[in-house]
Structure 1
Amino acid sequence: MTNYLFQLKMNFKRIMLRNKAFFFFDMMLPTIFYLLYTKILTVGIPTSTLPTWNENYLISMMVYSCMLGGIITTSNTLLDDQTSHFNLFIALKPISKIQYYSAMAIVFLCLNLISSLIICLVGIWVNHISISLPLLAVLILINLIGTIPLILLGALTALAKNPNTVNLLNNLIVFPLAIISGLWWPIQMMPTWLQKIGKIMPTYQLSLLDQNLLHKSTINFSAILIIFAWFIAIALLFFVIGNIQKRKGLSIQ
């Protein structure tokens, strides 16, 4: 337990306190988008529906910030551990591979917690969104749990082990996923066939889950099942690829 706590402490310092890119990309970028789309690019939106738009876009940017942190920050951090041979250092310590990844996941969840909380506070302060403290806590908690498949997807991307390939995969996953999930603009603006694809994505289901909780105070259990199915699928793929790489001698753990 002492070794595990030491690992957590070390990860917090090197990822959270020394990672300036996180504060810009994972927090500032979604916050800038939120202010841009709720304070400037609101032409054509009826005044009566503007509060709902502000609330829905708040949810979208919460999910988007967690997607940036879950996929890009996770994959780049794990890749950096591989290229700097930090994971070799971990392998020589009395800590298992499961402990290594779980400790990293806890840190990434904390990063997503910070970004979600900041965007919520911006929405409450700037757009005067009314939300009770208990509901805010539940909303952020559910959002964090729902981003676990995204963190796992980032870990899966890092298995490419090549910086160029990882960056390419991140770009091919994050931005198209944000678009077809309706995080940047309403999914109803897309072609019907693209809407069908977007609606099965975990990010769309997470935003739908959050919106139902915010507007109706109800939980969408079908969204939970779809997100869980994505978690199982990504976990299995990560396990299979990781074992293949280990058998081929591409993994040091």
Structure 2
Amino acid sequence: MDTLRSSFTGALAPMPRGRVFAAYLQETRAECLRYLRSPSFLLPTLLFPAVFFVMFGVVLGGHGPAEAPRYLLASYSSFGVMAPGLFGFGMSLALERDNGLLTLKRALPMPPAAYLAGKMVMAMLMAALISTVLQALGLALAHVQLQVAQMLQLGLVCVLGAIPFCALGLLLGTLVKGHGAPAVVNLLYLPMAFLSGLWFPLQMLPPLVRAQAPLWPSYHLNALAQSALGFDTGSAWPHVLWLAVFTAGVLAIAVRRLRRYG
């Protein structure tokens, strides 16, 4: 009986910090390798914003205002970093709920948050890669003049800006089934980008669209990206605060729903 009691107590003992860190690290590594080995996710996520920027910022940018390529670099950077969180988090979670992988993950002896942290780090790394590709295109093809500080600030905005969309993707992943997730995510992703002024400046859109633009997280992310490249968008703190509150609120709802599948 004493042996059984000691074994049971040992099973319930908290994991050492080294093993907890290793679990987070391994889950992040596995998540990143999974998407690196999935060209159907990796290539569209990278190429979609790059192609848009080449079309409008490089090919057509020379026929517009001198600052158009710089403006579009910021807006398509915002557009690009939305995808890893929405698709890599939301769509994959919905699929993993359906095929039983989420249930298996929750049964494994690892910290529950490691599963979510791995996906979030993957999305942030993808955002960094997208920002790097777009900045390289801006410098090489559109001849955008960027200071090192501006490049670093835009990269930081993109990496941290992926987090609100990870939270939104997490919520979507708890709401929709796997087979319907791609359509639902696209129905949110593309209209949200348009309504936030990421494809065209808000001044070119109808008054009704301009009035509702601040409701979208992509609008506030784009304001921070524009500010990073030298455009005057006012104080950054209201946009940061809005994104922080949005992330916390959406994440709280998503985690509550996710517990139902435990």
Instruction: Tell whether the structures are fold-level matches, with TM greater than 0.5.
Output: yes
Partner SS for 1:204: helix
Q: Deviations over 1:154-202 (max 9, x none)?
A: 1111112412432232122111101101111111122212211112321
Provide the residue aligned with 2:4 in structure 1: none
CA offset at residue 140 of structure 1?
A: 0.8
Alpha-carbon separation, structure 1, partners of 2:94 and 2:116 = 13
CA offset at residue 42 of structure 1?
A: 4.5
Letter in 2 for 1:13: L
Alpha-carbon separation, structure 2, partners of 1:42 and 1:120 = 15
TM-score (norm 2): 0.84
CA offset at residue 85 of structure 1?
A: 2.5
Alpha-carbon separation, structure 1, partners of 2:227 and 2:71 = 10
Alpha-carbon separation, structure 2, partners of 1:78 and 1:106 = 15
Provide the residue aligned with 2:182 in structure 1: 167
Letter in 1 for 2:45: D
Q: Which of these two proteins has the greater Rg computed from alpha carbons? A: 2
CA offset at residue 209 of structure 1?
A: 1.1
| Contact 1:3-1:94 within 8 A present in 2 as well | no
Say yes or no: does 1:223 pair with 2:242: no
Provide the residue aligned with 1:72 in structure 2: 87
Alpha-carbon separation, structure 2, partners of 1:194 and 1:7 = 41
Letter in 2 for 1:237: I
| Contact 2:96-2:178 within 8 A present in 1 as well | no
1:146 paired residue among 124, 144, 161:
161
**Where do 5+ consecutive residues of structure 2 fail to align?**
1-20
| Contact 1:82-1:161 within 8 A present in 2 as well | no
| Contact 2:91-2:173 within 8 A present in 1 as well | yes
Alpha-carbon separation, structure 2, partners of 1:196 and 1:93 = 47
Alpha-carbon separation, structure 1, partners of 2:62 and 2:116 = 45
| Contact 2:220-2:243 within 8 A present in 1 as well | yes
1:28 paired residue among 32, 42, 47:
47
Q: Give the share of equivalent positions with the same residue, in percent.
A: 19
Say yes or no: does 1:233 pair with 2:249: yes
Q: Deviations over 1:82-134 (max 9, x none)?
A: 23332233223221321211122111111111111111111111111121223
Partner SS for 2:146: coil
Alpha-carbon separation, structure 2, partners of 1:127 and 1:121 = 9
TM-score (norm 1): 0.87
| Contact 1:65-1:115 within 8 A present in 2 as well | yes
Say yes or no: does 1:203 pair with 2:222: no
Count, aligned residues: 241
| Contact 1:209-1:219 within 8 A present in 2 as well | no
Q: Kindly tell me: are residues 139 and 38 of structure 1, through their superposed partners in 2, closer, same or farther at Cα, counting changes over 3 Å?
A: closer
CA offset at residue 38 of structure 1?
A: 2.1
Alpha-carbon separation, structure 1, partners of 2:201 and 2:149 = 28
**Where do 5+ consecutive residues of structure 1 fail to align?**
none
The alignment's C-alpha RMSD in Å is: 2.0
Letter in 2 for 1:209: L
Q: What are the equivalent positions in structure 2 for 1:103-182 lying under 5 Å apart?
A: 103-182=118-197
Alpha-carbon separation, structure 1, partners of 2:84 and 2:130 = 9
